[in-house]
């Protein structure tokens, strides 16, 4: 909105503040960047996360357990049921992908690196 | 508004006409500002065709635009990070890396990892590098009718590409381009992420136990906190300053559309990234295993072009440059570009400072 060459426009208070803002912003930015890259911030960040997760986890677990019980009462699938189903579908999709590759090649496909012990 | 031709001519006491004109223009500026912050820009518009899917992953082939005699035979696969959308590679018409490579005759494919759902929380780098990626490559090779291919990996996409290249050197990878690849975490003080995550109090296991997948908003906030004033204040102040410059605002809008589209990251991959890479530096230490197989960087023998961004605060240059002595490639080059993590490929100087170097390096080494 403002350009440094222009004479200050009394109708543009944001423009009038620009010089002040630019001068402050650079120093503020440097100070904040130094702060977030400090050991103190890293420790505070880790500790905050630890405390937050520690407080939220029991609440979330209790809520989930209640929801699972309620869904079971109503004969509805839970998130875990749907997740397991989705995982099975992905495994089927992988078999189809191998079949598709066989059809493409007209012979056995190269191993797509599906190793024993692979999760999928 | 004061940048207009009228502003310098304003008298000390503006006339009612000046006031009215200013009010109208300010209203227009606010309206533009609001639109840029809330509406989506048209991005990822280069024509493409879906050629393969698996779970959430999708492989696209872009429609060639070079004349047939100028087209190259060796296909190029683009692999982006797993916690952002890949469309930054095809940001907007007239400023798209995909478009640029197509114009130079490359046969371009894009692997989109998709948005992980709760059922994907156990997807790890093992799965991405040794299951999903090889399958996508198998399909690409069939479609292109080529046994050899080129690959460009960016950010965590570069990490996945490196793992694949080291584990499957015999599967036809000819040229590998890595962009801002986070690979070497020897220096725990380099960059905010390394410092934050290597602190003993930072426990990714507890975080993923709570959420399953790590929410995209959390990852986005973490990235923005690396430069908080620039990201939370400076970006918007600059936008306001240039609100009447259509070319700049549209570029900002496209980038902001991409930035706002945050996606979660698979919990298992997140844990692995923090514990195995950031904290223990297993890839460089030679102790990393995927599906029980050791990852040996000396097995990476494809031609390598390793691009680092000199002012990258997400992946500092030392995290990428450290692999040059470890890989087995005989043709390898470390290339430094002025700019940041995303700016080197999507910034306004990318077409001048980065893309031509990538294209020329690749063109000299592929059919």
Q: Consecutive sets of 10 residues in chain B, 367 residues long: mean pLDDT of each?
A: 46 78 86 89 94 97 93 96 95 94 97 96 97 97 95 98 97 97 92 87 92 94 92 90 90 93 96 96 97 97 97 95 95 96 94 96 92
A59 interfacial to chain B (CB closer than 8 Å): no
A interface mutation test: which of B4, B6, B10, B119 has the most A CBs within 10 A? B119
**Res B272: pLDDT:** 97
What secondary structure does DSSP assign to B259-283, as a single string? HH----B-HHHHHHIIIIIIIT-HH
Nearest residue of B to residue A118, measured between CA atoms: B291
> A21 with A8: CB under 8 angstroms?
no
Q: List CB contacts (< 8 A) between B230 and chain A.
A: 29
- Picking from B49, B18, B45, B52, the residue whose alpha carbon sits closest to that of residue B258 is B45
**Res A111: pLDDT:** 54
A interface mutation test: which of B5, B6, B7 has the most A CBs within 10 A? B7
Lowest mean pLDDT among A35-49, A61-75, A102-116, B333-347: A102-116
- Calpha distance B173→B176 (Å, rounded): 7
- What Rg value do the Cα atoms of chain A yield, rounded? 29
Name the residue with higher pLDDT: A20 or B301.
B301
**Percent of chain A residues topping a pLDDT of 90:** 56
Q: Is pLDDT of A53 > 50?
A: yes
How distant, in Å, are the alpha carbons of B30, B201, B206, B224 from that of A45? 36, 8, 14, 14
Nearest residue of A to residue B268, measured between CA atoms: A119
Q: Decide if B199 and A29 are in contact by the 8 Å CB cutoff.
A: no
- Picking from B8, B84, B15, B89, the residue whose alpha carbon sits closest to that of residue B46 is B89
For residue A73, the distance in angstroms to the closest alpha carbon of chain B comes to 23
pTM: 0.89
For residue B233, the distance in angstroms to the closest alpha carbon of chain A comes to 9
- Calpha distance B220→B261 (Å, rounded): 10
Annotated catalytic residue B155: yes
Name the residue with higher pLDDT: A94 or A120.
A94
Asked if this assembly's ipTM is beyond 0.90, the reply is no
State how beta strands B303-309 and B173-179 pair: parallel
**Res A26: pLDDT:** 87
**Res B100: pLDDT:** 97
pLDDT band at A10 (very low <50, low <70, confident <90, very high): low
**Res B58: pLDDT:** 98
Annotated catalytic residue B106: no
Q: For residue A25, which phi and psi values (nearest 5 degrees)?
A: -60, -40
Ranges assigned E (strand) in chain A: none
Q: Which two structure tokens, joined as six digits, stand for B176?
A: 């590998």
The three-state secondary structure class of B173 is strand
Q: Decide if B203 and A50 are in contact by the 8 Å CB cutoff.
A: yes
Q: Among partner residues A1, A12, A36, which is closest to B228 by beta-carbon distance? A: A36
- Calpha distance B99→B66 (Å, rounded): 10
Annotated catalytic residue B104: no
Query: What is the separation of C-alpha B344 from the centre of its chain, rounded to a whole number of angstroms?
Result: 10
Q: Decide if A11 and B54 are in contact by the 8 Å CB cutoff.
A: no
Ranges assigned E (strand) in chain B: 48-54, 57-62, 75-79, 107-112, 149-154, 173-179, 289-290, 293-294, 303-309, 332-337
**Percent of chain A residues topping a pLDDT of 70:** 75
């Amino acid at each position: 909105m403002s350009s440094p060459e222009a004479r200050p426009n009394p109708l543009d208070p944001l423009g009038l503040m620009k010089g002040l803002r630019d001068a402050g912003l650079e120093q503020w930015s440097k100070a904040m960047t130094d702060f977030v890259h400090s050991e103190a911030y890293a420790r505070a960040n880790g500790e905050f996360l630890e405390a937050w997760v520690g407080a939220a986890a029991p609440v979330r677990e209790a809520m989930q357990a209640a929801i699972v019980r309620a869904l079971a009462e109503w004969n509805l699938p839970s998130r875990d049921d749907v997740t397991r189903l989705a995982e099975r579908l992905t495994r089927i999709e992988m078999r189809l992908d191998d079949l598709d590759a066989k059809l493409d090649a007209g012979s056995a496909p190269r191993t797509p690196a599906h190793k024993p012990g692979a999760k999928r | 508004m004061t940048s207009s031709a009228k502003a310098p001519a304003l008298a000390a006491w503006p006339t009612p006409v000046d006031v009215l004109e200013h009010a109208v223009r300010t209203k227009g500026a606010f309206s533009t500002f609001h639109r840029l912050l809330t509406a989506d820009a048209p991005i990822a518009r280069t024509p493409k065709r879906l050629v393969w899917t698996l779970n959430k992953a999708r492989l696209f082939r872009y429609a060639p635009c070079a004349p047939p005699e100028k087209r190259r035979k060796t296909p190029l696969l683009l692999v982006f990070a797993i916690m952002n959308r890949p469309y930054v590679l095809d940001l907007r018409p007239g400023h798209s890396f995909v478009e640029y490579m197509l114009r130079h005759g490359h046969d371009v494919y894009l692997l989109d990892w998709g948005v992980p759902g709760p059922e994907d929380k156990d997807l790890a780098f093992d799965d991405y590098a040794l299951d999903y990626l090889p399958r996508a490559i198998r399909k690409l090779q069939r479609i292109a009718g080529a046994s050899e291919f080129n690959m460009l990996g960016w950010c965590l996409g570069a990490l996945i590409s490196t793992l694949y290249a080291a584990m499957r050197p015999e599967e036809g990878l000819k040229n590998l381009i890595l962009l801002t690849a986070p690979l070497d975490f020897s220096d725990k003080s380099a960059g905010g992420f390394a410092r934050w995550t290597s602190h003993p109090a930072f426990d990714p296991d507890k975080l993923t136990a709570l959420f399953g997948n790590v929410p995209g908003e959390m990852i986005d906030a973490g990235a923005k906190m690396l430069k908080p004033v620039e990201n939370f204040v400076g970006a918007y102040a600059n936008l306001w300053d240039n609100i009447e410059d259509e070319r700049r605002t549209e570029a900002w809008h496209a980038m902001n559309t991409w930035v706002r589209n945050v996606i979660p990251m698979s919990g298992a991959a997140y844990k692995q990234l923090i514990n195995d890479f950031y904290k223990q530096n297993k890839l460089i230490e030679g102790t990393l295993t995927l599906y029980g197989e050791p990852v040996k960087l000396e097995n990476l023998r494809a031609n390598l072009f390793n691009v680092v961004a000199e002012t990258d605060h997400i992946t500092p240059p030392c995290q990428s440059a450290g692999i040059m002595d470890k890989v087995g490639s005989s043709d390898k080059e470390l290339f430094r570009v002025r700019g940041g993590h995303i700016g080197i490929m999507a910034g306004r100087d990318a077409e001048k400072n980065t893309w031509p170097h990538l294209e020329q390096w690749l063109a000299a080494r592929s059919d």
